[in-house]
Amino acid sequence: MKIAVVGATGLVGTKMTEVLRERNFPVTEFIPVASAKSAGKTILFGGKEWIIKTPEEAVAMKPDIALFSAGSDASGEWAPIFAAAGCRVVDNSSRWRMDPNVKLIVPEVNGDTLTKMDMIIANPNCSTIQMVVALNLLHKELRIKRIVVSTYQSVTGSGVKGINQLQDERREWAAMNLSSEFEAAAPGNRVSGGRDKAYAYPIDMNLIPQIDLFTQNGYTKEEMKMVNETRKIFGDDNIAVSATTVRVPVEGGHSESVNAEFEREFTMEDIFAILRKTPGTIFIDNSDNPPYPMPLYAYGKDEVFVGRVREDLSCKKAVNMWIVADNLRKGAASNAVQIAQLLLRMN
């Protein structure tokens, strides 16, 4: 089994390699792929050093499965080329997610829809993944009518740049007054050491209610991803979704406050029972310690954690809940490897 990781030197690509190793994926030949500037360097996998290849070199090696995390442009160019060579592609970018001919897969939710004919499979947005995993059985049993979600997303969602900016600001913050920090944070400026910023404003000691660019309707692309991807994964265009996405000064793990309204009647005991048996989740109730999920405790784990589940006092058929997951793992790398494991069973 030849496995390629395209974008192997990036944050998510590195995590994909780590998850492949942890899950004992049956790799006979590992093909790390990156840009020409990284080609020729080596990556350690399975106790052996593997030479980083360019995309052209990797295609010629005819991998069986390629996990892509190299950005939308690279995926748009190379995923079809890999697929044409007989390689199944699991893509982590946004390039193929809303393509009507490409399936958007979260294994616990709709993994059973995959077939041998699917050569390019899209990995959803990190925030969408953890939300639909948590809501999956609730939707099947009670039918979701409307979702209102606010996210609290880690800087790791912005890659190394986001981590660097947070760490740099934490080192510098004490030496700066607030006014000079905001002045220094103007778009195009750099933090000390000459490192590019991920955000136009300070992230340490701050929240930024913008992830990705704004669209004409006033929502950001990240917010619209949650709207459109949720409907596609659940296969229901009638679900109303309203999202607000926020970047927070946390280095690992996304959190979400979710209000879900259902079509059917329920008791809170029904909700708790459904959540306890929802695949891929860990339900935290008030008797646990801590009595709610936090990104600190989700870090490095593949499960989606659900807690603070309570009745909506303003709407008869709705509940509020708090959902947390490691965005680099279940929100990206682990979900992609799980998809690859499903493909493996089809061979």
What is the chain's length? 347
71 shares its domain with 116: yes
Residue 173 pLDDT = 74
Q: Which domain holds residue 281?
A: 128-154+208-327
Residue pair 197/161 in contact (Cβ under 8 Å)? The answer is: yes
Residue 181 pLDDT = 53
10 shares its domain with 139: no
144 shares its domain with 77: no
Residue pair 320/310 in contact (Cβ under 8 Å)? The answer is: yes
103 shares its domain with 6: yes
In terms of Cβ atoms closer than 10 Å to its own Cβ (0-12, 13-18, 19+), residue 172 is: middle
Mark whether 139 is an active-site residue.
no
265 shares its domain with 119: no
In whole angstroms, give the CA distance from residue 147 to residue 320. Answer: 10
What pairing do the DSSP bridges indicate for beta strands 65-68 and 88-91?
A: parallel
- End-to-end C-alpha distance for the chain, whole angstroms: 10
145 shares its domain with 271: yes
Helices then strands, counting H and E runs in the chain, come out as 11, 14
What pairing do the DSSP bridges indicate for beta strands 48-51 and 42-45?
A: antiparallel
277 shares its domain with 139: yes
Residue 201 in any domain: the answer is no
What pairing do the DSSP bridges indicate for beta strands 88-91 and 120-122?
A: parallel
Residue pair 234/132 in contact (Cβ under 8 Å)? The answer is: yes
Residue 148 in any domain: the answer is yes
181 shares its domain with 147: no
185 shares its domain with 267: no
Rounded to 5°, the CA angle 337-341-343 comes to: 115
165 shares its domain with 212: no
Mark whether 126 is an active-site residue.
yes
177 shares its domain with 294: no
DSSP string, 11-65: HHHHHHHHHHHHTT---SEEEEE--TTTTT-EEEETTEEEE-B-HHHHHHT--SE
CATH code at 115? 3.40.50.720
Residue 199 in any domain: the answer is no
Q: Which of 87, 139, 254, 315 is catalytic?
A: 254
CATH code at 290? 3.30.360.10
228 shares its domain with 246: yes
In whole angstroms, give the CA distance from residue 296 to residue 316. Answer: 33
pLDDT, tens only, 173-222: 766 655 555 555 454 444 445 588 999 999 999 999 999 999 999 999 99
* Sheet-wide strand order for 29-33: 29-33, 2-6, 65-68, 88-91, 120-122, 103-104
In whole angstroms, give the CA distance from residue 325 to residue 303. Answer: 7
In whole angstroms, give the CA distance from residue 183 to residue 185. Answer: 5
Which residues of the chain fall short of a pLDDT of 50? Answer: 185, 187-192
Residue 174 pLDDT = 60
Residue pair 64/119 in contact (Cβ under 8 Å)? The answer is: no
**What is the maximum alpha-carbon separation in the chain?**
61
Q: Which of 87, 126, 139, 315 is catalytic?
A: 126
Residue 271 pLDDT = 98
Question: For residue 61, how far is the Cα from the chain centroid?
Answer: 29
